[in-house]
Amino acid sequence: MAQIFPKWTNKLPPVVAAGLLLALLAVVGFFWYFGSPMYTDVGYQPVQPVPYSHKLHAGDMGMDCRYCHTAVERSTVAMVPPTQTCMNCHTLVLPESELLKPVMKSWSEGTPIPWVKIHKVPDYAYFDHSAHVRVGVGCASCHGRIDQMEVVQQDQPLSMGWCLECHRNPDMSLRPIDQITNMSWTPPVNQLELAAKFKLERNINPPTNCSGCHR
């Protein structure tokens, strides 16, 4: 009996199977990367109601983070500064500036400036700023070099996997307590040796179980 299909078609099933497998891997890889916080969240940089420059204030002028974010050492939240904090300086410094009109309007009307939140943790996850700051996790570890940003953007994914990586191995994020807000701090000696010392002195043992963050 004559063959209906040519001999080369015998190779089609494995070729088709390999093609489908590669296509499946490509689809999974596409959504794994482009649907992850590393792609969707890192670099998030909303337009703010006031063009506040962290580079000018925290970088060039050397203002400490805690001047504006006053609650970061004792509260779960870092706190967005009230208009009063801005006016401590800008009552005298450039009060007529066009850029500061929203600040002046907020001050005169007694209404808050509608800042747009950038760093967001889901409602189902519990995060405590003070717990991290008090053991020596620097601001730059999560927020990046804020002192170099004209407009603040999200520097890290803040995903569960990213948090767990640090909880399992916090060594590279630990520093002296008095250097928490020093964005340019570098370890004077081996970082791992410092971290071992800090973990022992501060009893650092971050939780990696579900209830550590989901309460």
Q: What is the pLDDT of residues 130-177, one digit of tens each?
A: 999 999 999 999 999 999 999 999 999 999 999 999 999 999 999 999
Give the helix/strand (H/E) hosting 168.
helix 160-168
Kindly give, in sequence order, each residue whose CB lies less than 8 Å from that of residue 124, ignoring residues fewer than 6 positions away: 214
Q: What is the pTM of this model?
A: 0.81
CA 39/CA 27 separation, integer angstroms: 16
pLDDT value at residue 155: 95
Distance CA 180, CA 167 (A): 18
Q: What per-residue confidence (pLDDT) applies to 36?
A: 75
Work out the average pLDDT over 199-204.
95
Look-up of token digits 């800008």: 90
Inter-residue contact 121 to 78 (CB < 8 Å)? no
Number of Cα atoms under 13 Å in the Cβ half of residue 110: 0
Place of tokens 């974010």: 69
Mean pLDDT across the chain: 91
CA–CA separation, 26 and 28 (whole Å): 6
- Cβ-based burial of 151 (10 A; exposed 0-12, middle 13-18, buried ≥19): middle
Residue 52 pLDDT more than 90? yes
Residue 50 in contact with residue 100, Cβ under 8 Å? Answer: yes
Question: Residue 55: CA atoms inside 13 Å, Cβ hemisphere, count?
Answer: 7
Provide the pLDDT for residue 11: 77
Please answer whether residues 166 and 173 qualify as being in contact, where contact means their C-beta atoms are separated by less than 8 angstroms.
Answer: yes
Q: How confident is the model at residue 199 (pLDDT cuts 50, 70, 90)?
A: very high
Cα–Cα dist 53/90, whole Å:
14
Model confidence over 39-51: pLDDT tens digits? Answer: 788 999 999 999 9
The DSSP bridge partners found for residue 202 are none
